[in-house]
Amino acid sequence: MKKTVIALSLCCAALFSMLLWQQFSAPAVTASEALTAQEQEDKPLYMVRVTDGVLAIYPYGSDTAAEVTDIRLSSLRAYDQKLMQQGFPLYSEQELASFLEDFGS
């Protein structure tokens, strides 16, 4: 019985030591690093803009279109026209594919 109590105490001490080591050895993330990661998640991959009366897909931050569509601005509803004239962000490849499918039909 005494040996069991000692063995159990040693196991608990070892487990507690491992938890402490894991807690304090993990790299700390600074507030500026966390903000940068959040900003990257919020930044779109593409912007849809109007170019010569049609919609064009631009990589975010670029002035060179990656794709110029045959979707005429005049073929869209007034609300969609206003959105496209302001610039419409797309945050993933999936959003880009859905956008082209929805507006290209």
One domain for residues 34 and 80? no
Instruction: Give the tens place of pLDDT for each residue, 14-64.
Output: 544 554 445 555 555 555 555 445 445 689 999 999 999 999 999 999 999
Instruction: Give the tens place of pLDDT for each residue, 84-100.
Output: 999 999 999 999 999 99
One domain for residues 15 and 56? no
Kindly provide the b/e burial profile for residues 49-70, where b requires at least 16 CB atoms within 10 angstroms of the residue's own CB: bbeeeebbbbeeeeeebeeebe
Q: How many domains does the chain have?
A: 2
Q: pTM for this structure?
A: 0.60
User: Domain residues for 76?
Assistant: 43-104
Q: What is the 3-state secondary structure (H, E, C) of 43-91?
A: CCCEEEEEECCEEEEEECCCCCCCEEEEEEHHHCCHHHHHHHHHCEEEC
pLDDT at 3 over 60: no
CA nearest neighbour of 62 among 38, 86, 44: 44
Residue 39: C-alpha distances to residues 34, 43, 60, 86 (Å): 9, 6, 13, 21
